[in-house]
């Protein structure tokens, strides 16, 4: 049980990390203009803080993942990772600052990917029990 | 162009993960520490550059489209494991790969 809690924490953190990094990159100057980009980072703008927060959340999510794998097997934990695709896709649509739009096509794409991951990762025993 | 960047980010992070696995494989006991350090630092470099490319992607592509496309990693790792360590790809695994590729292609239309 504790393993699943660590996995859930990891998934929430990695999803939050992606959303935070996305907001950061929207609010930082274009990265191909390296000097502008770096000076915005050094000036500790809100975008720079969000980038730092996102990268930290990403790091912590990896730590939680390692903790999760101490308790549950990789084949059980891996399907859970695909939840973060749904979470990020869904959350991004509801965060006005990210300005993302809903398309039926992207819903279809996410459903295909998640079902593919489930086909690969779902433990064989659970499939036989169905 | 955006799709190419996503593929590059995916390839770099997979290469980083494969280096982590390689770091744990060492037959020569005397040089274990050196081996571990070499492969781990290579892995950190690859993962770091993957992150830089990814941040660039985020500046141009909606995260709701780009992030699920990173599931390309699962496919690249499966093929790398087959090529490097001769791990078999089962029928079920192939079916999953086909579904993931289809999903990534659909998302790619919007990227």
pLDDT per residue as tens digits for the range B48-95: 999 999 999 999 999 999 999 998 988 898 888 888 878 788 888 889
Looking at residue B60, its pLDDT comes to: 92
| ipTM score over 0.85, yes or no | no
Could you read off the pLDDT of B23-57 as tens digits, one per residue? 877 777 778 888 889 999 999 999 999 999 999 99
User: Domains in chain B: how many in total?
Assistant: 1
Cα separation, A120 vs B77, in Å, equals 13
**pLDDT exceeds 60 at position A96:** yes
- The single residue listed with the structure tokens 């990695």 is A14
Q: Which of A24, A27, A16 is CA-nearest to residue A92?
A: A16
B59·A109 Cβ contact <8 A = no
Instruction: For chain A, say whether B56 makes contact (Cβ under 8 Å).
Output: yes
User: What domain range includes position B69?
Assistant: 2-110
CB contact under 8 A, A88 and B71: no
- For residue A125, name the pLDDT band (cuts at 50, 70, 90): low
Asked if A112 lies within 8 A of B51 by C-beta distance, the reply is: no
Query: Got the DSSP string for A29-54?
Result: PPTTSHHHHHHHHHTT-HHHHHHHHH
Euclidean distance between CA atoms A74 and A53, whole angstroms:
27
d(CA B92, CA B74): 14
Write down the pTM of the prediction.
0.87
- The span from the CA of A24 to the CA of A49, in Å, is 8
Contact between A73 and A12 under an 8 Å Cβ cutoff? The reply is no
Domains of chain A: which residue ranges?
2-129
């Amino acid at each position: 049980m504790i393993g699943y809690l660590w996995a859930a924490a990891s998934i929430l953190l990695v999803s939050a990390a992606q959303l935070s990094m996305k907001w950061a990159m929207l609010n930082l100057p274009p990265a191909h203009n390296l000097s502008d980009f770096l000076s915005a980072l050094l000036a500790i703008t809100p975008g720079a803080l969000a980038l730092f927060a996102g990268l930290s959340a990403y790091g912590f999510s990896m730590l939680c993942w390692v903790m999760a794998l101490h308790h549950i097997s990789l084949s059980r934990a891996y399907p859970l990772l695909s939840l973060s695709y749904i979470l990020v896709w869904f959350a991004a649509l509801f965060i006005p600052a990210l300005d993302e739009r809903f398309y039926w096509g992207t819903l279809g794409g996410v459903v295909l990917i998640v079902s593919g991951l489930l086909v690969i990762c779902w433990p064989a025993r659970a499939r036989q029990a169905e | 162009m955006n799709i190419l960047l996503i593929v590059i980010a995916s390839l770099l992070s997979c290469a980083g993960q494969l280096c982590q696995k390689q770091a744990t494989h060492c037959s020569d006991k005397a040089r274990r520490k050196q081996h571990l350090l070499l492969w781990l630092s290579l892995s950190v470099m690859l993962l770091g550059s993957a992150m830089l490319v990814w941040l660039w992607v985020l500046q141009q592509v909606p995260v709701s489209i780009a992030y699920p496309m990173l599931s390309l990693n699962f496919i690249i790792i499966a093929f790398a494991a087959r090529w490097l360590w001769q791990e078999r790809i089962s029928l079920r695994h192939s079916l999953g790969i086909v579904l993931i590729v289809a999903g990534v292609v659909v998302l790619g239309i919007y990227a």
